[in-house]
A and B are shown apart, each in its own frame.
Chain A
Amino acid sequence: MTASTFADTPTPAPAAARTGRRPAMATYARLDLRRQLRDRIGMFFVVGLPTFMFLVFGLGSDDPIGSGNVAMYVMISMAAYGAVTATTSVAGSAATEQVMGWGRQLGLTPMRPVAFVAAKAAVAMAVAAVPVVAIFSIGAATGARGHWTDWVLSGAVVWLGSALFAVYGLAICLVFRGPNAAGIASGMIVVLAFLGNVFTPMSGFMLELGRLTPLYGYVALARFPLTDGHLPVAGTDPLWLPVANVLAWTVIFAMLALWGVRRSRART
């Protein structure tokens, strides 16, 4: 009879008692967001640098442009730059986390990959909102002028459109694997911002070339409510041009990311 006491080790709970615990995705996303916002160097490039550039290039520029002034134009450009830097770096960090083995740790939780992507997207959009709110607030307080619809529409395009660069960040990190990939993605944003007519108004051949680069369409679209497509140096962009640019690059980045995911899966 004593043998039964030995066999009487705690038996595993029935499976039914264990199911029904749902991942608290909001808690996870909140912790992840806090971690991102705490990264001082990262946040300098997301908020500090674009704010600084707005103060240098945009502050007090009251020359008229479209339905507002130059300060408004620069404000939208710099907010867009900050938002794009944010989504790129969050997406890049997501890819780096996978490389570092955190993905394997997450693979042992009930969270599905789709939920992970959704949580990261939420974090990326939350971080992207920080420079938009900060720079638009400073702009509003320091004399950026425009019709109220310009403010609303531009803000919405800047914020929502930055999602495209989350796909970009993911694609770059999947293509250039390794710990430097996120840095490459962020560094290329600076180059693309110059080419995309974000920092300094371009003309001639550089403008022709710039129209084909990914940041051009996004920023042109964000400024469209203010400028109606009129360029600061000379010329006009019809609305279809930035729209076509954004759609084309969305397809290109998405396909690159898909190819990267397939390639990384093929390894194992």
Chain B
Amino acid sequence: MSTPAIRAVGLRKQFHSTDGTPVLAVDDVDLTVHPGEIVAFLGPNGAGKTTTVDMLLGLTRPDAGTIEVYGTAPGEAVRQGRVSAVMQTGGLLNDFTVEETVRAIAALHGRTDRVEVVLERARLTDLAGRRVEACSGGEQQRLKFALALVPDPDLVVLDEPTTGMDVGARQEFWRAMRADAALGRTIVFATHYLAEADEFAERTVLMARGRIVHDAATADVRAAYGGRTLTFRPPAAVVGADGIDAAWLSRVHDALAPLGVTDVDVSAASLETAFLALTAELEGAAR
């Protein structure tokens, strides 16, 4: 077995809120990600995703537990250029142009040879001369993505990468990410867009209140907590402008079979159902 891309054991991080009460942002998180995996961190705001990402990048030191990225300390992996990230809170300088921004970061990585490649990769070549402040939210996000690709990392961590993108830009972004993943990069992304985890990740880690509440193949997460739903189409005659005929519906309740139901379709519940069920379960337990 090769060295895991990420190996975290017993991670814990506590913050003090403004009124001094301690908040446990990350609570006893164990996680192993292998090279080449695409993993989604899914959870509501405040679930501990960003804090976990920060510890993964060596920007925050855990209070307890250990975390290794490719067998070394996260800070060291960052310095070696093995891991990079698109951060939610990472900023750009408004008065740099797109190309200058990439050049500046490439200089710091000692990888000035990568400037053209990553501009091309993030489809920014045409915008190279534009000032950052003149770029749309989606374009700035693509620029951050280009910066993350500069060191040619083995692991890319994306924290809410598609924030500020419209639907088209979002699809475009994930298309580019898929192409990158196909080249063998390990990708870990935090999101609260369920559809993104559902469509893109092979594995979903559900986080709520600082804990990992489920960690499995995305399809399994969906199946295990969502159950199954039976849908059917009623005969056209009972469907009116104000819904389905009530009398007919009560007869459906009485007996399904002899009433001429056609096109019975069994479909899996969405990941959203699983997500809501899981987080609600935890909220209930906390009360």
Contact = CB atoms under 8 A, between A and B. Distances in A.
A5 interface: no
A38 B95 contact: yes
A208 to B, nearest CB: 43
Interface in B155-173: none
Interface residues of B, number: 41
Nearest to A97: B93
A21 B110 contact: yes
Nearest to B105: A109
B32 interface: no
A101 B91 contact: yes
A104 B93 contact: no
Interface in A83-126: 97, 100-111
Interface in B90-133: 90-93, 95-96, 100, 103-105, 107-112
B81 A18 contact: yes
Contacts, number: 110
B178 interface: no
A103 B95 CA distance: 15
A110 B79 contact: yes
B22 to A, nearest CB: 14
B90 A24 contact: no
Contact of A101 (B72, B81, B89): B89
A31 interface: yes
B70 to A, nearest CB: 6
Interface of A: 9-13, 15, 18-19, 21-25, 27-28, 31-32, 34-35, 38-39, 97, 100-111, 268
Given A105-B147, A268-B60, 14 more contacts: A11-B2, A12-B70, A23-B110, A24-B112, A27-B104, A28-B108, A31-B103, A32-B104, A101-B87, A104-B90, A105-B91, A110-B78, A110-B108, A110-B110
